[in-house]
Each structure stands twice: as C-alpha cells, then as structure tokens.
A and B are shown apart, each in its own frame.
Chain A
Amino acid sequence: MTPEVFRVEQRREEFPGTFTLRIRGERAKNGSPAEFQPGQFNMLYAFGAGEIAISLSGSPRDRDGYVHTIRTHGFVSQALERLQAGDLLGVRGPFGCGWPLSAAKGKEVLIIAGGLGLAPLRPLIYNLLGDTQSVRNIRLFYGARRPDEMLYRDELAQWAGSMEIVQSVDHGDADWAGHIGVITGPLAGAELDPQNTVAFLCGPEVMMRFCIQTLTAKAVPESAIYLSMERNMKCATGHCGHCQWGPNFVCKDGPVFNFAGVQSWFNIRAL
C-alpha cells in the first residue's frame, strides 16, 4: 500500500494535453518492477498533489519499467504533466483484473478503442502480436476525434503489417486517408464469424455502449465482449468504495469486465 519511488526516464508528448511517461523504479535498479497483466493499472502519486489511477500501456514483456499514457484533466494529472525526465513520482500497483488472454485463444479478435482507450489495450496488442499463432486473426478498430489526436501513430503504422487496422475520426483533414464518421460504421460493415469472435473494448462509455449494440446486432454473444471501465478509483484495493459499481469495485473486480456479467449495471444511468 506504500508507494514506491520511481523516476521518469522519458517523457513524450502524444498531442497537446496527452503525454506518455516511461518510469523506472528507484529501488529496483538491480531488479524489475512487479509484473503486470494487460489491462491492469497503477496508482501514480504526484508528490504534493495526490494520486490517480492510470492504465499500464507498455509491453508486459518489458521488465525495465512501466509506461503510462496520461490525459491532463485534473489537479493530479496536471502535476504529472509537469514531470520531466529525472523527476520522481510514487507508484502503487499493478492493480485490478486485466484482459482475459485465454478468451482470445483460437478466436477472431476485435480490439475496439476510442480516443485514449487505446492505451490500456496496447499491452494486449503487444501480447497478441507476440503470439499470433494462438488467435485466428486480430483486427483493430480505432476511433478518435481528429487525426492528430490519435495515440501511437508510429506504432499503428507498424502494426498495420501484422493486423487489419480500421481508423476513424469524427473530423478529418485533407491528409487523412481513413474513415470519417464514427467507429460503429466500419464495425457494422465488418464481416465476422460471431460465434468465433471475441471483442475487447476501451473508450468513452457512450462509445462502448454503441459499439456493444453494433456487436450484439451482429450476433456476437455478450459473453464474448470484454470492456474496461473507468470510475473514480482511490484506494485501488476495494476498500474505500469510491469506485463501487453495482456489486463490483472497478479497482478490484475490474477495470476489465465481461459484458455478460455487468450488462444489468451498464444500463443503469445513475451508476
């Protein structure tokens, strides 16, 4: 429960207001930080400001440190944004239940990301691309606001050689070659074998809701849909109750949930 001190090794601006930190443990100079599963998160502590939950977005096979992509939104993320290479921060974690890799075995995998939602899915993509034999195929549907607000653009270009990538933006520009519209459009038009498909979703909740509607309309079973939820996480161990969502604590029972198990809570507006 006590944060470990990490040092910022590298800071990269993805686009204004969104940045990626690569951090390395101070005590673990001769060892490695705790292993994580794709989809898990850390609590990042900006000294003097506070602590927030941020998904792990690096490769689980990278044992030298952690990578986090952060959107500047509140007081703590603004403090994290000011960190530069060499600065210190506190880290607790990894916490939570990640993406169930076993569910992807032998399946057609749909990875559906919206905006910053690609960050928690990136470790999953790394794992799947590292073991493509275990799945039938991988397709990424990625929606964002504008082309210059897409994450990991260099990697997207690299991944395109190993999997089908459909990118869509709400507002394009003259150089944009992908879809303009919403991601549910290309998703609805995709040919898939619903009984042999598994979908992993992360993005704004409203976007996930529409994508789930599209998937179920294409006869993808609810039990084959996994989504990563975001709630106000404080303790990260299921004790404080801040992130309670129906009978679940998002920090402990999630953030990744099987849609069949949370469907009834997903549609309750006040939760």
Chain B
Amino acid sequence: MKNLAQLLREHPFFHGMDEEHLEFIARCGQNCIFNRGEYIARENAPADQFYVIRDGKVAVESYVPNHGSLCLQTLHSGDIFGWSWLFPPYLWTFDGRALDEVHAVRLDGKCLRDKCDEDPKLGYALMKRFARIVTDRLHTTRVQLMDVYNQQRPPLDSGQ
C-alpha cells in the first residue's frame, strides 16, 4: 500500500515539488472517502482543509433559494478542491458534494498556513500551484460566461 507522500507525488498538483516539502505536506494529510451525496464542504463553514481528489467526482455547488443546489463545476481525479483555507476569513465559499464515491487526501490547511509563514520557499511553491488553479478556474468561468454554444449570437462588431 502506498503511503501519503507517494500518493501525493503521483498527483499532478505536486509534480516537481521538493521532496522535503512533499514529506512535510504528507504529514499534514490523511486519506478519506466520501460516499455519494455526502457533503465535503458547506458554504460559510470553516475552511481549514483542502482535498486532493484521487478518484471520483465532486460537484462545486451553490444553494439558490426556491431552486435548490446549482452545480457550477465538477471536479475529478487529478483536481484539487478548496482554496478558501488560504485566505481570511477561511470560510468555504461554495458547497462541495460527492457525486459518486470519492477518494481523496485531506490536507490540513491550518497546519500548512503556519508552515508556509515559516518557510517562504514552501509557501511560494504552494502558492504558485494554487494561483495556477485559480487562473484555470477563472478561465473556465469566463468561457462559460461567454456562452459560446448560444444559438442566438449578438451582432458582430469589427473585432478591433
């Protein structure tokens, strides 16, 4: 059976990370399994963890009154769920719900925050990776907002 450091090493998020840092991060983690329908995170609840998704599918949702939960995006094996642990007030901004059996590594964000303050090299390595995720998600959101498959396009401008 693989230990946590090995599992993290194989995950794309941690590719290229120093071995020493990886070992430390692994010590802040634990394996976890969520059953289908189980909430991994609830909006406005304290966000002191993030999840490395190893297998399964997670819906990032927001509850809309009189409508129900609206799924904004699905995350899959190879994705990371959660960056709210990085920024005050350290509260989840969306719900996270398992759409099938999800195998993940839960990482203690609070422990990592403290370590990142002490070790800026680790902080920078982690922040670079999270910045990439944030920009990728922003890009995805922008493309969704462009509604490229819409049948009725507004008139074209000159494109200048």
Contact = CB atoms under 8 A, between A and B. Distances in A.
Given A71-B151, A143-B149, A180 B158 contact: no
A17 B151 CA distance: 8
Given A185-B140, A269-B160, A270-B160, A180 B74 contact: yes
Given A180-B59, A189-B76, A145 B160 contact: no
B146 A179 contact: no
B159 interface: yes
Contact of B149 (A170, A174, A181, A185): A170
Contacts of B76: 179, 186, 189
A53 B68 CA distance: 42
A184 B74 CA distance: 13
Contacts of B151: 17-18, 71-73
A145 B140 contact: no
A206 B79 CA distance: 25
B150 A269 contact: no
Contact of B144 (A71, A170, A186): A170
Contacts, number: 63
Nearest to B100: A177
Contacts of B134: none
Interface residues of A, number: 33
Contacts of A75: none
Interface in B118-160: 140, 143-144, 146-152, 158-160
Nearest to B145: A170
Given A189-B76, A269-B159, A269-B160, A181 B148 contact: no
B44 interface: no
Contacts of A182: 140, 143-144
B116 interface: no
B45 interface: no
Contacts of B59: 180
Nearest to B59: A180
A80 to B, nearest CB: 15
B14 to A, nearest CB: 15
B146 A180 contact: no
A207 interface: yes
B78 A206 contact: no
Contacts of A180: 59, 71-74
Contacts of A145: 147, 149-150
Nearest to A182: B143
A181 B160 CA distance: 29
Contacts of A270: 158-160
A149 interface: yes
Contacts of B99: 177
B143 A115 contact: no
A204 B143 CA distance: 12
Interface in B52-86: 59, 68, 71-74, 76, 78-79
A179 B151 CA distance: 21
Interface string A157-194: 00000000000001110101111111011100100000
B60 to A, nearest CB: 8
Nearest to A180: B74
Contacts of A170: 144, 147, 149
Contact of A206 (B68, B71, B144, B148): B148
B75 to A, nearest CB: 9
Contacts of B148: 114-115, 203-204, 206-207
Given A174-B68, A189-B76, 12 more contacts: A18-B151, A71-B151, A72-B151, A114-B149, A115-B149, A144-B149, A170-B149, A179-B74, A180-B59, A186-B76, A204-B149, A270-B158
Q: Which 10 residue pairs across A and B have the least CB separation, nearest first?
A: A115-B149, A269-B159, A145-B149, A204-B148, A182-B143, A180-B74, A181-B73, A170-B144, A207-B148, A172-B71
